[in-house]
Amino acid sequence: MFDNLSDKLQRVFKNLRGEGKLSAENMEIALKEIRLALLEADVHFKVAKQFIEAVKEKAMGQEVLTALSPTQHVVKIVRDEMVKMLGQHQARLRTANEPPSVYMIVGLQGSGKTTSTAKLARWLSKNGHSPIMVSVDVYRPAARKQLSVLARDLKLPIYEGAQEETKPAELARGARKEAVQTGRDVILVDTAGRLHIDEELMTELSELKEQLNPVEILFVADAMTGQDAVKSADEFHKRLGITGVILTKMDGDARGGAALSIRAVTGQPLKFVGIGEKPDAFEPFHPDRVAQRILGMGDMLSLIEKVEETYGQKEQEEMQRKLIEDEFTLGDFRDQMKQLRKLGPLESILGMMPQLGPLKDLKNAKIDEKEITRLVAIVDSMTERERFNHMIINGARRRRIAKGSGTSVQEVNNLLKQYAQMRKMMKSFSGGGFLGKKLGKLKLPMGFGS
């Protein structure tokens, strides 16, 4: 359902990449395009505005990962903000201190409450719980029957109530009693829907809430209704205090804006999504996975993750400072090389960046791990002073270093040349991409490019 948005965002990033260097102007254009793409996907305008502001602020800020190219850096910021907009972490269901935990399922007519109740019961029983369902939709006999049929098909317990139990409160009481007697830890209460939010419905739901003391009030929202779903979620929250949202019909061709703005507007997390009519078409909502799906750039995102894992933020800041203040020593050079090795085989990293211009020719390059080892050995054979100030490394010192590292003077010379080159490059691209531009233009000791 995010196809359109995904296509548009990817085009924005592709254009950015084509620009080579990031400027304030092309960044401005990109942000405008991202905003438009969000609005076209039916994201709430306030949410889109906030999103763009946050991305802008971060992009202009100082937190630059030198291991990423400027465009990759922007992608990272957009990804981070998107995950944040979607709720950051997976929101898990709460449980009561003393079982059974009561979950009320509420929402407008036809949004998918009954279906979701059965789906959730199935999911819970597959995840270590023993739920019991009850329908308190007393207005339509068919509604209770619907849940009974679902329960029977899924072989899941349901409290069907006695003949004389005709009020929601009575049914709920009966269900609790049965849950306690049979040792169920969750009671799922499927409630009646209305076409619109009205006083009668809200009063009934409030009374039920009072009586049942639920730990979760899950609002079921139909993704196909777009902004209306967001609006009613917000109203339900104000009137009843919902604790989470189940977004159904995500398999439809809606534009996805509801999913993207419900959290930001209501402040309540999406907990599950319905992605079809079948009982198993239901899954917990993972902000990071959804953001990934929207951005679509699986390969680039996993590279970014890898770089984030490898480079601590502290180290990054320190490296950044050194570059700016011209303190990038041979020791740092060695550390960078070691980091590069930690990233894994260079081939796989190159493979993740199919469209990276300067690196294209290097795709078939052989990576010589031994070369990195040799380079590290050379730097290790230097004295602390030499590493700190490469200018003092004269002929005699070069011979000593070559001997100490089991290499030749020629190799030591090469390394010093590469280091000087790298310093120059890094300075001119300060804040730019170590793995991007620099790697592309530098002759690194990896057996390629020469």
The binding site for Mg ion (CB under 5 A) comprises: 113-114, 143
- The CB-of-37 to ligand GTP minimum distance in angstroms stands at 25
Residue 163: C-alpha distances to residues 61, 143, 148 (Å): 67, 16, 15
Nearest-angstrom CA–CA distance, 21 and 441: 15
Q: Report cis status (omega within 30 of 0) of the bond before 354.
A: no
Q: Which does 274 bind (CB under 5 to 8 A by kind): Mg ion, ligand GTP, none?
A: ligand GTP
When the beta carbons of 218 and 340 are compared against ligand GTP, the nearer one is: 218
When the beta carbons of 187 and 425 are compared against ligand GTP, the nearer one is: 187
Q: Which does 336 bind (CB under 5 to 8 A by kind): Mg ion, ligand GTP, none?
A: none
Counting Cα atoms < 13 Å in the Cβ hemisphere of 117 gives 35
Q: What are the φ/ψ torsions at residue 187 (nearest 5 degrees)?
A: -115, 120
When the beta carbons of 111 and 268 are compared against ligand GTP, the nearer one is: 111
Q: Which does 107 bind (CB under 5 to 8 A by kind): Mg ion, ligand GTP, none?
A: ligand GTP
| Token representation of residue 303 | 């590279």
Binding residues for ligand GTP, per CB under 6 A?
Answer: 107, 109-115, 137, 143, 193, 248-249, 251-252, 274-277, 281
Q: Which does 207 bind (CB under 5 to 8 A by kind): Mg ion, ligand GTP, none?
A: none
Which residue type occupies 412? V
Give the DSSP H or E segment for 272: strand 270-274
When the beta carbons of 107 and 168 are compared against ligand GTP, the nearer one is: 107
- The CB-of-171 to Mg ion minimum distance in angstroms stands at 14
Identify whether the C-beta of residue 132 lies closer than 8 Å to the C-beta of residue 179: yes
Q: Which does 218 bind (CB under 5 to 8 A by kind): Mg ion, ligand GTP, none?
A: none
- The CB-of-216 to ligand GTP minimum distance in angstroms stands at 17
Q: Which does 277 bind (CB under 5 to 8 A by kind): ligand GTP, Mg ion, none?
A: ligand GTP
Sheet containing 244-248: give its strands across: 158-159, 131-135, 186-190, 101-107, 216-222, 244-248, 270-274, 282-284
DSSP string covering 6-23: HHHHHHHHHHHHHTSS--
CA 14 to chain CA centroid, nearest Å: 20
When the beta carbons of 113 and 438 are compared against Mg ion, the nearer one is: 113
- The CB-of-259 to ligand GTP minimum distance in angstroms stands at 12
When the beta carbons of 112 and 433 are compared against Mg ion, the nearer one is: 112
CA dihedral 417, 446, 17, 70 (to 10 degrees): -60
- The CB-of-194 to ligand GTP minimum distance in angstroms stands at 8
Q: Which does 309 bind (CB under 5 to 8 A by kind): ligand GTP, Mg ion, none?
A: none
CA 319 to chain CA centroid, nearest Å: 27
Q: Which does 312 bind (CB under 5 to 8 A by kind): ligand GTP, Mg ion, none?
A: none
When the beta carbons of 74 and 136 are compared against ligand GTP, the nearer one is: 136
- CA-based nearest residue to 448, from 383, 371, 380, 339: 371
When the beta carbons of 135 and 407 are compared against Mg ion, the nearer one is: 135
- The CB-of-329 to ligand GTP minimum distance in angstroms stands at 58
